[in-house]
Every structure is written in structure tokens, then in C-alpha cells.
Structure 1
Amino acid sequence: MFESVTSLQEETWLRSFEGTDLTGAPRPVSACWELDGAVDENALSEALYALAMRHEGLRRSFPWLSDDPLRAWVDSDVVVPIQVLEAAADEETTRRDLLDALITPFDARAAPLWRVVLVQPSPSRSYVGFSADHMICDGISLRIFLKELALAYGQAREGKPIDLGPPAPAYSDFARRQRDAFAGAWGEERRAFWTEYVSKHGKYPPECGLAHPRGADAPGNSQLLKVHIDEASMKEANEAARQWRVTKFALVTSTLLTAMSHVTGDSRAGLSLDIHGRLLPGAGAGIGLFSHGVPLNVDLAGELYARDRARAVADGLAEMLKYGVPLRGACPKWDLDITRSHASNFILYSFNAAQWAHDFQLGGVPARIYKLRPPKEQRTIWHPGFLDIEATETPEGLTVEAHFDDSTYALPRMKEWLDRTAHEIRSLAIE
């Protein structure tokens, strides 16, 4: 049957026509794990089928209907998408085969828009990979999928009926609630907010003042810089966040923006961040596309204390949580020029508070993340103006990584920025 879509799904669909192939989102959500043991293929198939029938989003496709607005077709049943590969003679070839299988584009017109790839080189080792078109899955969805897969697989392997608890919320119900909300006062309030926001701050995403292009005749190289903040310093930062009543995310983000302002000499600082649109009722436990990027702009003019900078960022983030659902999908309909442009120089920023993907297991056998892609410094980036910042916290402290093209961003300038960020975090000791 045909069901409603969210505005973000609609925008992602329209972006798929940038190329010549009728495919879904350009970057599938994917991950791969290595297990010390064999995988019961029958139990895995049974568990995957249970998840597909539980979550409507896993049975969605987007057939092209030229006479109608975009709608999703939801199958009443689905073929379990397990792709079994033969192990190659060497591990590098196996790794490449896994990656090729997982990143193969999906045809958005036909379900399923996700797949599981299984390779078992020996009875003592297995590889399990998951890939989904971003039109039906985001990062939080992957966490939900893995948690329920582990439970369902364990039950199936023991010969028990699969019981995953109360029914999951239907994505189509969320889509209808979102569209109904946008048609009323909820949507008008957000239109007014973004109209004023664009008037004050300019287009989305915020221009990155760190850019320093060398010119078209100087091809660049992919670069990766890292700084590490030790556990003791992060303990002090956590205490500062607690006393100032801000989140750790807001605190770390404020240090990043303060360092940017210091390096550029401009009190205005901005970046783009991923935020999740699971704010309407019933969205928290579902699998689907809820996440999208929003801009964060702050003005750090004057001699602000670290506490005040953190609170200014926290206030900005609170506004994004309130008004940023959804942003990009709705703005073209509002004639607001804040659609992401690949011609601009901008920062995409993400903060990983926990290595949640490392906790996955099947049948009680722990699974380790199996990295299929080369190191970041060996990868190409989306376009020269793109700067990817990732902050990851572990028990050993916080690591901040910057991945960029050095034809747009000068290496010494980027190093100064990261070093200054680390300095700002280490300076947060509470007396």
C-alpha cells in the first residue's frame, strides 16, 4: 500500500536525480563486524524477517509516479536480504568484496532498501555487514536495529518464538503527524523562526572562515589532523558542564567555536551539525529517516567567560532542537535560500559520546567493528570545501579529528585551530 513520506525523505528523493541513475541516497548507512565463531544463517534469516515485519520502514520503497507527489510503497511481506559471499584467498580481497557489496547503490523503486552481507572464512570466524539506503535509515535507527537483531537472533538460535516487545511505531504514522503539524501553527512558528534566522545569519550552511584556498592550479591532498584531550582534563570539563548546567556536547562545541573565532579573528563562528528529528511522539523507537543537518551560528564578541560561551552555544542548540525539525526538506517550499551548497566552504561536525557500535553481539559472541574503508587520510572527500570534524569520547579521553583537503584549508591554520581547541578544553578546570 502507499503511505505518506516525511519532508526529509522527499528531499532525499529529489536529490537522487542529480545523477543519471534512479537510485536512493548517495551514501548508504553501513557497518561491518567480525565475530570469533560461526553464524547460524537460518537463525539470522529468521531474526531479520522478524525485524522487517516489525518495522514498516524496512519494507519501504519509492516507485516513481509522475502524476502524484512522492509516496512510499510499503510491502506487506519482504524477502530477507542476506547476501552470502565466498571468502577470498586473502583477507584484503575479502575486505574489498565486503565493502563493494555494502556500498552498492540501491534502486529506490524496489524494496528492500537494505541488505545484510555474510562471509564465513572458517568455523571460527565470520563477518556480518549491514547496509541501508539513507532514505529509510539513520544512525539511531542502526542502533535500534542492532539491539533488536541481537535479541531476535538469540531467541531464534535457541528455538524460541521471537518476542521483541510491544509493536514498534509505524513510520507512516510519524510522517502523517509531521505533515499535519506543519500544516498548522507548529509549522508556521518554524517558518517564522527560519525566516528571521536566515535574515540574521545568512545561508545554510554557515561559511567557514578557516578556508584559505591555494587556487585551482594547486591540487590538494586529503589530510587528517588529530588532537587528544586526556581523561583528567575531560573529568574537569564534565564537572564544568555539570556546574554550568550545560551538556558536554554544548561545552565541547563551545571550545571548538571559541578556537575558530581566535584563529580567524572573527567573533562570528558557525558550523553544521547532525541532529535527530525524533521529537514528535512515537518517533523514538522507530527505524526510519529522522536525522538531518542544521546550522549553528553564534557570536562570541567581547570578553566572554568560558561559562558564558558554553551557555550561548547551549541556547543555540536548544533552538535547533526546537525548530530544526525538519529544516532542509521544508525550506524549498518556503522559498528560503538555506539549502546546502557544495560550492560553499563549511564544517560538518559530529560528537560521539560512546562507541555504541562496539557493543554489538550475536548469540552471546561479541562482535568487533571490522573497518572496511582505508584510513581517513587516504580517502577522498566530498568536495574541496568540505571539512569534517569528529569528536569521539572514550574512557581514555576525547579525540578531535579534522579531515579536509589542503587545497582549501592550510595545514598550519588547521593545526592551530585544533591545538587551540585542546587548549580551551584543558583550561576548563573548576577551582
Structure 2
Amino acid sequence: MTVSHVGASLGPTSLAEKARLTGDFADWHNLFYRTVWITGTLDIAAVRAAWRRVCRHHDALRRTYVSADEARTHADALSEVEFHTAETDDEAIELMRSFLGTPFSLDGPGFSRIAIVQRSERRYLLGVAMDHIMTDLLSWNRIRADFKEFYDRALAGDTGDVTGVNGYHMFAAEQRRLFSGGWGEERKEFWRSYTDEFGAYPPPFLADAKHTGEYQYKVIDRALPADAKARVDALSRQARVTPFAAVSTGILAGVREVADDPTAGISVTHHGRGLPGTSETPGLFAQTVPLHLGRRVTSPLESVREVFQRTHDVFEYALPLTVAGRAWNEVLTGVGRAAAGLYLELNERPRSTYYTPWFTGTEVEYVELSFPGDKVWDETVIVSWNLYETGPRLVAEYNGNYFPDAAVEELLEAAQRFVLSATTA
């Protein structure tokens, strides 16, 4: 579709957008996508109307970039629903892979794609791709909920305007204003003191790890006791902390035990909206910050409380640290140097159920796709606590040609032992 600049407004990029535009992630594929098979009656015209309304409602989907420091927010949608047909499921999937899998250009006309491939009267493949520059996980949940609501409204004949306020546009301007004043100075002092204590980035999980070949994706998936979530909750209540702090401490304790390093640290992703009025605003807010145990060995409960205080601090002062550090002439973190990435889930149902229902009167089945050029973390162990009520798991994803399997197994064993036994300590 043709992109018009008529009615577009100019303003500063957010610090997260600037990080993406200035090289920290600019060479990555960085796709955020969902693909689902849809079974049932699907009104294509209503899907198209709903998608346009989603884009009109959330200004993050209408942004392009003049430079690393200046964004343009357009008045109308920058993408529309494409429609295709296919004779087989494999053909439909390859069509979708080709459509979704092309990397977005950072100086391009938009950062979202959506398509439907019809296989039969009641079977469709729907795919949505967005560049990470304009979304994160919380953004996607908001966008998908609105997509369903606007679809239902379109079916009911509601054609009213749903244009929202320029939420992300306003956030970016306010963040840049605050960053140049006392708010930014407070963050600079915090991160200067934090890195003075712990260093610019967490040390490697294994100092002697070596690349022995091309990236080899490996997964260790440990079944946890059926009452794992209840035990995490009990530890959190006993220590008077969040479950996130409890399981983070377990990973930190595991890293320290395996690596035998008192400076053990991990990197965690903070998805919080740090300024008032941003809790429901889609856009790129996610940023990675370091988290550490103190050097002093303490009891399990004291360690959990200590990490809880650190999570409060690093999230309170969270910024894209490479960009902020450049602005302050400080070295605050190193991309890709994490001892272990931590992604935490506390849901009580499998992830596949998060994608149902997309549209009233339909059922969906999630489809996993891979694309050439996907980013791999070849020197990072990504750990997930999946505390499903029906099957809790502790999972590690890593490069098998860099990390020894036995060391990753030992990390998970130590983390599990710490978290699930701490309430009896």
C-alpha cells in the first residue's frame, strides 16, 4: 500500500527505538510474529476492518523513522490484510513463511504485515509479523485483544472511529524530556554505582567455554514437582517478595554454584511501563538489565530478599543501558554477554492456549515457523520457569557447541534445589 505523510506528526524516538536504530539490534531479524490455523466461519471484510482499526487505535503501529532521534507518526494504517489461497497446507505455510519472513528495513514504510491464506471454506492460515521496534510481549497481548474486539464490532455493524491518543508518541517525547533532566541524572547515578559494585556486565556463565562448531540449538526440559507453583508461592510469601525474585535468586544461586564465581549475575528483560499512563500503551518498552547476588553468602531467605530489593532497583531505574551509557560517556552493559537470560512464566496453562480464541466463532491452532536470519544467542543460556498447574517445567535453551550439557544440567539442578527447598531452610 502507498504510505502518505499527510497529517503525520514528528517527534523524538524513545530510547528503546534509538537502541534498535543505532546498531545494537539493527542487524538482527527481530521479527515478532504469530501464525495460527483458523477453523470456522471467518469474515474477511471484518478482519480487514478490525486490523485497520487496531492500527488507527495504537500509534506505535503507525510509526516510521526520519533518523535515530526522530520518528514520524502517520495518520492512517501502514499495513492492510493480504489475502491468498492455497491447495495444500504445506503450500499455505510456505506462502506465509515467504510473506512474514522478509526482514523489515529500518528506513522502510512500516513495521507490520498481516495475511490470510484460505485453504477451504472453513480453514484459514492467519499470520501477523511486527518488527520488535514497535512491539513487545505486553504490546502484543493488548493488540490481539483489541483485534478480537474490533472484529466483533465490525460484525455487528459498528463503524465508529476508534482513533486513540498518540500514546507512544507522547511517551517518547516525555521520556526524552525527563532523560535530559533530573530524572536522567538519578538513573545515571544509580547505574554508575551499580556497575562500580558489580562491573559493566555479568561475567560469562563458564569462563572457559569455547565454540566447537556452528550454533547447535539444544534444550534441557526438566519436569518439576506437581506442587512447584505452590512451593514458589510459599517461598514468596515467607520472604515477602515476588515470585519473580524467588526464581531469579534460584538461577543466580545456580550460576554461582556451577561457575564458582562470587560476582555471578544474569540479564533479565524488564517489560514494565515506567512512566504514568503507559500501562496499556503498545510500543517497544522492553529492555535488558543486569541482576546480581551480593558477594556475601547469606541464608536462602536473606538472598531472596536481597535479590527482590535489587529487582526493585534495576526495574525502577531501567533504561536501554547501551544508549544511555553512550549519552553519559559510561560503559554500563555489554550486549550478548549475559551469564544466563531469564524468562519467567507463572501461568497455569500451556502457552498454546494464549492464542485462543482469535475471532468469535472460530478455533485456532498455533503454528511454529522459523525464518532464515533468526537471531541466536550463542553464548547465553536462556532459562524459563514454566509453572503450569498441570505440568510445571524448568527449561534451558542454549548452544550445544558452546556450553557443555553437564554444566547446564547442573545449573538447572542447583536452581531447582534452591527454590523448591528454600521454604524449609
**TM-score greater than 0.5 by the shorter chain:** yes
Match of 1:114 among 101, 112, 115: 112
Q: Is 2:179 aligned against 1:197? A: no
The answer to whether the Cα contact below 8 Å between 2:41 and 2:362 also exists between their aligned partners in 1 is: no
Q: Distance in 1 between matches of 2:296 and 2:130?
A: 43
Q: Is 2:42 aligned against 1:39? A: yes
Deviation readout 1:344-366 (Å, 9 max, x if unpaired): 46322111223473344212424
Shift of 1:188: 0.4
Equivalent position SS for 2:322: coil
Q: Which range moves more in the overlay, 189-198 or 76-85?
A: 76-85
Q: Is 2:101 aligned against 1:103? A: yes
Q: Distance in 2 between matches of 1:397 and 1:267?
A: 33
Q: Distance in 2 between matches of 1:75 and 1:39?
A: 29
The one-letter code sitting in structure 2 at the alignment partner of 1:408 is Y
The answer to whether the Cα contact below 8 Å between 1:62 and 1:71 also exists between their aligned partners in 2 is: yes
The answer to whether the Cα contact below 8 Å between 1:38 and 1:120 also exists between their aligned partners in 2 is: no
Match of 2:381 among 372, 387, 407: 387
Against the structure 1 CA distance between its residues 42 and 397, is the aligned structure 2 distance closer, same or farther, given a 3 Å change threshold? same
Residue correspondence of structure 1 range 179-190 to structure 2 within 5 A:
179-190=176-187
Q: Is 2:144 aligned against 1:138? A: no
Equivalent position SS for 1:287: coil
Q: Distance in 1 between matches of 2:25 and 2:287?
A: 19
Against the structure 1 CA distance between its residues 183 and 369, is the aligned structure 2 distance closer, same or farther, given a 3 Å change threshold? same
The one-letter code sitting in structure 1 at the alignment partner of 2:117 is V
Q: Distance in 1 between matches of 2:161 and 2:364?
A: 23
Q: Which range moves more in the overlay, 181-190 or 258-267?
A: 258-267
Deviation readout 1:362-412 (Å, 9 max, x if unpaired): 1242433222249xxxx9862531322222221224322211112321111
Residue correspondence of structure 1 range 76-87 to structure 2 within 5 A:
76-87=75-86
Q: 5+ unaligned residues in a row in structure 2: which ranges?
A: 1-8
Q: Which runs of 4+ in 1 moved over 4 A?
A: 16-19
Q: Distance in 2 between matches of 1:399 and 1:129?
A: 28
Against the structure 1 CA distance between its residues 16 and 414, is the aligned structure 2 distance closer, same or farther, given a 3 Å change threshold? closer
The one-letter code sitting in structure 2 at the alignment partner of 1:207 is P
Q: 2:279 maps to what in 1?
A: 284
Equivalent position SS for 2:321: coil
Relative to the length of structure 1, the TM-score reads 0.88
The one-letter code sitting in structure 2 at the alignment partner of 1:325 is L
Q: Is 2:30 aligned against 1:52? A: no
Q: Distance in 2 between matches of 1:253 and 1:185?
A: 31
Residue correspondence of structure 1 range 255-266 to structure 2 within 5 A:
255-266=250-261
Q: Distance in 2 between matches of 1:143 and 1:70?
A: 27
The answer to whether the Cα contact below 8 Å between 1:240 and 1:430 also exists between their aligned partners in 2 is: no
Shift of 1:60: 0.6
Shift of 1:83: 2.4
The answer to whether the Cα contact below 8 Å between 1:143 and 1:357 also exists between their aligned partners in 2 is: no
Q: Distance in 2 between matches of 1:16 and 1:380?
A: 15
The answer to whether the Cα contact below 8 Å between 1:43 and 1:157 also exists between their aligned partners in 2 is: yes
Against the structure 1 CA distance between its residues 101 and 340, is the aligned structure 2 distance closer, same or farther, given a 3 Å change threshold? farther
Deviation readout 1:181-215 (Å, 9 max, x if unpaired): 112111101011111212221123x1223354245
Q: Is 2:376 aligned against 1:353? A: no
Q: Distance in 2 between matches of 1:78 and 1:421?
A: 46
Q: 1:272 maps to what in 2?
A: 267
Against the structure 1 CA distance between its residues 253 and 189, is the aligned structure 2 distance closer, same or farther, given a 3 Å change threshold? same
The answer to whether the Cα contact below 8 Å between 2:247 and 2:419 also exists between their aligned partners in 1 is: yes
Shift of 1:114: 0.5
Against the structure 1 CA distance between its residues 380 and 167, is the aligned structure 2 distance closer, same or farther, given a 3 Å change threshold? closer
Q: 1:247 maps to what in 2?
A: 242
Q: 1:171 maps to what in 2?
A: 168
The one-letter code sitting in structure 2 at the alignment partner of 1:259 is G
The one-letter code sitting in structure 1 at the alignment partner of 2:387 is E
Q: 5+ unaligned residues in a row in structure 1: which ranges?
A: 20-24
The one-letter code sitting in structure 2 at the alignment partner of 1:41 is I
The answer to whether the Cα contact below 8 Å between 2:229 and 2:388 also exists between their aligned partners in 1 is: no
The answer to whether the Cα contact below 8 Å between 2:229 and 2:387 also exists between their aligned partners in 1 is: no
Equivalent position SS for 1:330: helix
Q: Distance in 2 between matches of 1:325 and 1:202?
A: 17
Residue correspondence of structure 1 range 145-160 to structure 2 within 5 A:
145-160=143-158
Q: 1:2 maps to what in 2?
A: 10
Q: Distance in 2 between matches of 1:270 and 1:246?
A: 19
The one-letter code sitting in structure 2 at the alignment partner of 1:26 is H
Q: 1:315 maps to what in 2?
A: 309
Equivalent position SS for 1:361: coil
Match of 2:397 among 392, 403, 421: 403
Relative to the length of structure 2, the TM-score reads 0.89
The one-letter code sitting in structure 1 at the alignment partner of 2:290 is P
Aligned residues: 413
Deviation readout 1:304-343 (Å, 9 max, x if unpaired): 222112111111100111111343331111112234344x
Q: Distance in 2 between matches of 1:380 and 1:59?
A: 24
Q: 1:22 maps to what in 2?
A: none
Equivalent position SS for 1:34: strand
Match of 1:227 among 222, 226, 245: 222
Q: Distance in 1 between matches of 2:166 and 2:21?
A: 23
Equivalent position SS for 2:332: coil
